Chain A
Amino acid sequence: MIAPRVKPPETTSPDPIQASPLALQPELLQAFLRLYGTLWSHGEVDQAAKELARVRNARLVDCPICKAIRFAGARREGLTEETLDLVHDDWRKGPLGAREKAVLGLVDGMVGDSGALDEAARQALLAHFTPAQVVELAAGVALFMGFSKIAVALGGLPDEIPVHEQPTPVVPPAS
């Protein structure tokens, strides 16, 4: 376990986000929740594809909390643990479909190679997603990566957290 780097706010809120260090910057937190809710609940890409990307990123960055969370919407769309078990470093050799592999190719290119994507990976994406959907997936990967790195960098998380379901993020009401 990485030691916590900052002291979280003093609160009695049962909401784990409001009790986390992110709540030390309330305006940023609200703006982020609006952004994340927009990505997940007002997007053009199905939630299963975004969840696949999120979990691949979580495993690459090795973020305990991101690896443990499963969003309910993706499960409702049929994304199973058996499929997610195939999201490992040798995913290219496994039985995932071409659409899923196109998503994972984007994640690996962004997280592992600074956003460099070869022509085959680009064409694989465009074979399964519209240009607008490609942009949404890429923005999602950038956010998944950034916020999983925040969780790691701020420390304070146990090394292992059981897999558990959470509601799909929505845009919170304006405060």
Chain B
Amino acid sequence: MYRRGVSWLPGTSDGPDSFASAFALRPNLETAWRAFATLFWERELVPPRLLELCRLQLGRLHGAELPDLCDAMRAARAARDPAWNEAIDHWWENPAFDPTEQACLRFAEQFALDPKQIGDADAAAVVAALGDAGTVAFVEALAILDGFSRFARLFAGEDAR
């Protein structure tokens, strides 16, 4: 198995990727975090295609992507359309993404950059598509994707930029 640590963080020599190598230094925290973060994919609390679009978009925004944590995430990544990599550069006008996906991508981008800029109409479009409980799951998924894409960037070093 390919293993690598974090160049600037002593003691991180094992793990399938630098994210896992770093988090392995705090095992009880990693276990509790993983139990939370994988629920979105394992329970399909948010449509998997939508989660993957947001994982891709926020990963591109931050320069590092949340790695796969469970089989459901690996399956969701495998199901990605390769055309997304270019199409997502113009997600707001690209017919590859339906109106719900465009509304959620707009919300995701604003969430990551400045959530105070999310307008009522933008939020209403997401709630109309996902419902109240689905919207709560969606914003919690965004919190994980946004926060831990940044965590991945922090511990990836220069190779992720």
Interface residues of A (CB under 8 A from B): 2-3, 5-7, 21-22, 24-25, 27-28, 31-32, 34-35, 38-39, 42-44, 61-62, 109-111, 114-117, 119, 122, 126, 131-132, 134-136, 138-139, 141-143, 145-147, 149-150, 152-155
Contacts and interface: CB of A to CB of B under 8 A. Distances in A.
A170 to B, nearest CB: 12
B35 interface: yes
Nearest to B147: A142
A122 to B, nearest CB: 5
A154 B139 contact: yes
Given A131-B11, A142-B150, A61 B29 contact: no
Main secondary structure of the interface of B (DSSP, over half): helix
B151 A139 contact: yes
Contact of A6 (B26, B43, B135): B135
A152 B116 contact: yes
Interface string B113-155: 0011010100110010000110111011011101111111111
Interface in B21-50: 22-23, 25-26, 28-29, 32-33, 35-36, 39, 43, 45
B135 to A, nearest CB: 5
B25 A131 contact: yes
Nearest to B58: A114
Contacts of B79: none
A152 B153 contact: no
B44 to A, nearest CB: 12
A34 B149 CA distance: 22
Contacts of A38: 28-29, 32
A145 B135 contact: no
A122 B146 CA distance: 21
B64 interface: yes
Given A114-B61, A126-B10, 19 more contacts: A5-B120, A5-B124, A22-B136, A31-B36, A32-B36, A34-B36, A42-B28, A110-B154, A115-B154, A131-B9, A131-B11, A138-B151, A145-B146, A146-B147, A149-B115, A150-B143, A152-B116, A152-B118, A155-B123
